[in-house]
Amino acid sequence: MLDKVTLFLIKISMAYLEMFKISPDGKKLRVAVKPDSGATLTSIKLWTEKNYKSSSDFHNFSELVNNLGPSQGLTFTISPEEVGKGKFDGLYFIEVQDSMGSSTPCSGCQGPAIGVATDFTRFSFCLLEYLCGIDPQCVSCDIELHKALTMKLYIDGLRNSIQLGKFTTAITFWKNLNRACKSECVECQDLSAIAKKGLGFHTLGGNLILY
Protein backbone atom coordinates (compact mmCIF):
# COMPACT_ATOMS: atom_id res chain seq x y z
CA MET A 1 0.00 0.00 0.00
CA LEU A 2 1.33 3.42 -0.90
CA ASP A 3 2.03 5.68 2.07
CA LYS A 4 2.49 8.82 0.00
CA VAL A 5 0.22 10.11 -2.73
CA THR A 6 0.90 13.18 -4.85
CA LEU A 7 -2.21 15.30 -4.53
CA PHE A 8 -1.56 18.00 -7.07
CA LEU A 9 -0.21 17.62 -10.61
CA ILE A 10 0.63 21.26 -11.30
CA LYS A 11 -0.03 22.19 -14.92
CA ILE A 12 -0.42 25.92 -14.40
CA SER A 13 0.28 28.41 -11.63
CA MET A 14 -1.71 27.74 -8.49
CA ALA A 15 -1.63 28.05 -4.72
CA TYR A 16 0.48 25.54 -2.80
CA LEU A 17 -0.25 23.78 0.49
CA GLU A 18 2.89 23.37 2.57
CA MET A 19 1.06 21.92 5.61
CA PHE A 20 -2.43 20.93 6.68
CA LYS A 21 -2.46 18.64 9.72
CA ILE A 22 -4.16 17.87 13.02
CA SER A 23 -1.95 18.13 16.10
CA PRO A 24 -1.38 14.86 18.02
CA ASP A 25 -3.70 15.99 20.84
CA GLY A 26 -6.48 16.87 18.37
CA LYS A 27 -6.71 20.45 19.63
CA LYS A 28 -5.12 22.32 16.72
CA LEU A 29 -5.38 22.31 12.97
CA ARG A 30 -2.13 23.66 11.54
CA VAL A 31 -2.05 25.30 8.12
CA ALA A 32 0.78 26.71 5.98
CA VAL A 33 0.08 27.95 2.45
CA LYS A 34 1.78 30.04 -0.19
CA PRO A 35 0.83 31.44 -3.60
CA ASP A 36 2.61 30.88 -6.87
CA SER A 37 5.50 33.25 -7.60
CA GLY A 38 4.16 36.76 -8.18
CA ALA A 39 0.62 35.86 -7.16
CA THR A 40 -1.32 36.69 -4.00
CA LEU A 41 -3.46 34.39 -1.87
CA THR A 42 -7.15 35.17 -2.40
CA SER A 43 -9.26 32.47 -0.73
CA ILE A 44 -9.06 29.86 2.05
CA LYS A 45 -12.10 27.66 2.73
CA LEU A 46 -12.52 24.78 5.15
CA TRP A 47 -15.11 21.97 5.09
CA THR A 48 -15.76 18.99 7.35
CA GLU A 49 -17.35 15.63 6.58
CA LYS A 50 -20.73 17.27 7.22
CA ASN A 51 -20.63 19.94 4.51
CA TYR A 52 -17.85 19.03 2.04
CA LYS A 53 -17.80 21.30 -1.04
CA SER A 54 -21.00 23.10 -0.12
CA SER A 55 -20.99 26.46 -1.91
CA SER A 56 -22.76 28.22 0.95
CA ASP A 57 -21.85 26.26 4.10
CA PHE A 58 -18.12 26.41 4.84
CA HIS A 59 -15.67 27.99 7.25
CA ASN A 60 -14.13 31.02 5.58
CA PHE A 61 -10.58 32.04 6.53
CA SER A 62 -10.09 34.32 3.53
CA GLU A 63 -9.85 37.42 5.73
CA LEU A 64 -6.42 36.20 6.83
CA VAL A 65 -5.01 36.92 3.35
CA ASN A 66 -6.41 40.45 2.97
CA ASN A 67 -3.15 42.27 3.77
CA LEU A 68 -0.72 39.85 2.17
CA GLY A 69 1.48 40.96 -0.73
CA PRO A 70 2.60 39.08 -3.86
CA SER A 71 4.40 35.77 -3.19
CA GLN A 72 3.77 36.13 0.56
CA GLY A 73 2.78 32.91 2.32
CA LEU A 74 0.71 32.37 5.45
CA THR A 75 0.99 30.08 8.48
CA PHE A 76 -1.83 29.89 11.03
CA THR A 77 -3.59 27.61 13.50
CA ILE A 78 -7.31 26.83 13.68
CA SER A 79 -8.91 25.91 17.01
CA PRO A 80 -11.80 23.42 17.33
CA GLU A 81 -14.06 26.20 18.62
CA GLU A 82 -13.63 28.13 15.36
CA VAL A 83 -15.34 25.29 13.49
CA GLY A 84 -17.87 24.36 16.18
CA LYS A 85 -15.97 21.36 17.55
CA GLY A 86 -14.64 20.28 20.94
CA LYS A 87 -11.64 18.71 19.23
CA PHE A 88 -10.65 17.79 15.69
CA ASP A 89 -12.24 14.38 15.29
CA GLY A 90 -13.44 14.05 11.72
CA LEU A 91 -12.51 14.64 8.08
CA TYR A 92 -11.25 18.10 7.17
CA PHE A 93 -10.79 19.57 3.70
CA ILE A 94 -9.12 22.87 2.89
CA GLU A 95 -9.22 24.73 -0.41
CA VAL A 96 -6.66 27.44 -1.17
CA GLN A 97 -6.70 29.72 -4.18
CA ASP A 98 -4.40 32.48 -5.39
CA SER A 99 -4.73 35.23 -7.97
CA MET A 100 -3.19 33.05 -10.70
CA GLY A 101 -5.69 30.26 -10.08
CA SER A 102 -8.53 32.77 -10.22
CA SER A 103 -8.02 33.33 -13.94
CA THR A 104 -10.38 31.93 -16.57
CA PRO A 105 -10.21 28.08 -16.55
CA CYS A 106 -8.71 26.34 -19.56
CA SER A 107 -8.58 22.76 -20.80
CA GLY A 108 -6.28 20.72 -18.54
CA CYS A 109 -5.85 23.51 -15.99
CA GLN A 110 -5.81 22.79 -12.28
CA GLY A 111 -8.33 24.33 -9.90
CA PRO A 112 -7.62 25.48 -6.34
CA ALA A 113 -5.26 23.41 -4.18
CA ILE A 114 -7.12 20.89 -1.99
CA GLY A 115 -5.73 19.41 1.23
CA VAL A 116 -7.02 16.66 3.55
CA ALA A 117 -6.44 16.01 7.25
CA THR A 118 -7.96 13.32 9.46
CA ASP A 119 -7.17 11.04 12.38
CA PHE A 120 -8.92 7.67 12.68
CA THR A 121 -7.08 6.41 15.78
CA ARG A 122 -10.43 6.12 17.57
CA PHE A 123 -11.70 3.66 14.97
CA SER A 124 -8.59 1.49 15.33
CA PHE A 125 -9.20 1.30 19.10
CA CYS A 126 -12.80 0.20 18.44
CA LEU A 127 -11.54 -2.50 16.10
CA LEU A 128 -9.17 -3.71 18.81
CA GLU A 129 -12.01 -3.84 21.35
CA TYR A 130 -14.16 -5.93 19.01
CA LEU A 131 -11.27 -8.34 18.38
CA CYS A 132 -10.62 -8.70 22.11
CA GLY A 133 -14.30 -9.53 22.64
CA ILE A 134 -14.33 -12.49 20.25
CA ASP A 135 -15.09 -15.84 21.93
CA PRO A 136 -12.44 -18.31 20.65
CA GLN A 137 -14.78 -21.21 21.50
CA CYS A 138 -17.42 -19.96 19.05
CA VAL A 139 -15.69 -17.92 16.38
CA SER A 140 -18.12 -18.85 13.63
CA CYS A 141 -21.14 -17.59 15.59
CA ASP A 142 -19.55 -14.60 17.33
CA ILE A 143 -21.18 -11.25 16.56
CA GLU A 144 -18.02 -9.46 17.72
CA LEU A 145 -16.11 -11.12 14.88
CA HIS A 146 -18.66 -9.83 12.37
CA LYS A 147 -18.34 -6.32 13.84
CA ALA A 148 -14.54 -6.50 13.73
CA LEU A 149 -14.45 -7.66 10.11
CA THR A 150 -16.93 -5.00 9.05
CA MET A 151 -15.00 -2.25 10.83
CA LYS A 152 -11.70 -3.42 9.29
CA LEU A 153 -13.25 -3.22 5.82
CA TYR A 154 -14.58 0.27 6.53
CA ILE A 155 -11.18 1.46 7.80
CA ASP A 156 -9.50 0.08 4.67
CA GLY A 157 -12.20 1.69 2.54
CA LEU A 158 -11.69 5.05 4.27
CA ARG A 159 -7.93 4.89 3.76
CA ASN A 160 -8.13 3.80 0.13
CA SER A 161 -10.80 6.30 -0.89
CA ILE A 162 -8.77 9.20 0.57
CA GLN A 163 -5.66 8.02 -1.24
CA LEU A 164 -7.59 7.82 -4.51
CA GLY A 165 -9.09 11.28 -4.03
CA LYS A 166 -12.63 9.88 -3.71
CA PHE A 167 -13.57 12.19 -0.88
CA THR A 168 -17.34 11.74 -1.07
CA THR A 169 -16.85 7.98 -0.71
CA ALA A 170 -14.41 8.56 2.15
CA ILE A 171 -17.05 10.62 3.96
CA THR A 172 -19.53 7.72 3.67
CA PHE A 173 -17.01 5.31 5.20
CA TRP A 174 -16.17 7.80 7.96
CA LYS A 175 -19.84 8.26 8.89
CA ASN A 176 -20.40 4.48 9.01
CA LEU A 177 -17.37 4.07 11.27
CA ASN A 178 -18.50 6.93 13.49
CA ARG A 179 -21.90 5.27 14.01
CA ALA A 180 -20.19 2.01 14.97
CA CYS A 181 -17.73 3.71 17.33
CA LYS A 182 -19.56 6.39 19.31
CA SER A 183 -17.72 6.28 22.63
CA GLU A 184 -14.85 8.67 23.27
CA CYS A 185 -11.45 7.04 23.20
CA VAL A 186 -9.65 8.12 26.38
CA GLU A 187 -6.46 6.23 25.52
CA CYS A 188 -6.22 7.97 22.14
CA GLN A 189 -5.49 11.31 23.81
CA ASP A 190 -2.32 9.94 25.42
CA LEU A 191 -0.79 8.51 22.26
CA SER A 192 2.30 10.15 20.82
CA ALA A 193 2.63 11.05 17.15
CA ILE A 194 4.87 8.00 16.71
CA ALA A 195 2.24 5.69 18.22
CA LYS A 196 -0.35 7.12 15.82
CA LYS A 197 1.77 6.38 12.74
CA GLY A 198 -0.44 5.03 9.97
CA LEU A 199 -3.66 6.10 11.72
CA GLY A 200 -4.43 9.27 9.83
CA PHE A 201 -3.66 11.59 6.94
CA HIS A 202 -2.25 15.06 6.62
CA THR A 203 -0.97 17.21 3.76
CA LEU A 204 2.69 18.21 3.67
CA GLY A 205 4.61 19.81 0.83
CA GLY A 206 1.73 19.39 -1.59
CA ASN A 207 1.50 15.66 -0.88
CA LEU A 208 -1.06 13.59 0.97
CA ILE A 209 0.80 11.63 3.66
CA LEU A 210 -0.40 8.57 5.54
CA TYR A 211 1.35 9.28 8.83
- What's the Cα-to-Cα distance from 209 to each of 38, 84, 157, 203, rounded to whole Å? 28, 26, 16, 6
The answer to whether residue 154 scores a pLDDT higher than 90 is: yes
Give the pLDDT of residue 138: 72
pLDDT tops 90 at residue 15: no
Asked if 196 contacts 24 with a C-beta cutoff of 8 angstroms, the reply is: yes
Q: Give the DSSP letter string of the chain.
A: --SEEE----SS---EEEEEEE-TTSS-EEEEEEPPTT--EEEEEEEETTTTT-SSSSEE-GGGGTT--TT--EEEEE-GGGGT-SS--SEEEEEEEETTTTSPP-TT---SEEEEEEE-HHHHHHHHHHHHT--GGGGGG-HHHHHHHHHHHHHHHHHHHHHTT-HHHHHHHHHHHHHH--S--TGGGG--TTTTTTSEEEEETTEEEE-
Question: Model-level pTM?
Answer: 0.84
pLDDT for res 131 = 86
- 182, 97 contact by CB (below 8 A): no
pLDDT at position 139 is: 60
pLDDT, tens digit, for every residue of 156-204?
A: 999 999 999 999 999 999 999 999 888 777 777 777 777 777 788 999 8
pLDDT value at residue 56 = 93
Give mean pLDDT, residues 45-65.
95
Which has more pLDDT, 159 or 1? 159
Mean pLDDT along residues 9-14: 43
At residue 140, the pLDDT reads 65
Domains of the chain by residue range: 4-210
pLDDT score for 141: 66
Is a pLDDT exceeding 50 seen at residue 6? no
pLDDT digits (tens, 9 = 90+) for 57-77: 999 999 999 999 999 999 999
Reference 98, options 18, 144, 38; nearest CA is 38
Predicted confidence (pLDDT) per residue in 79-138, tens digit: 999 998 888 999 999 999 999 865 444 444 456 889 999 999 899 999 988 888 887 777
Residue 151 near residue 127, CB atoms below 8 Å: yes
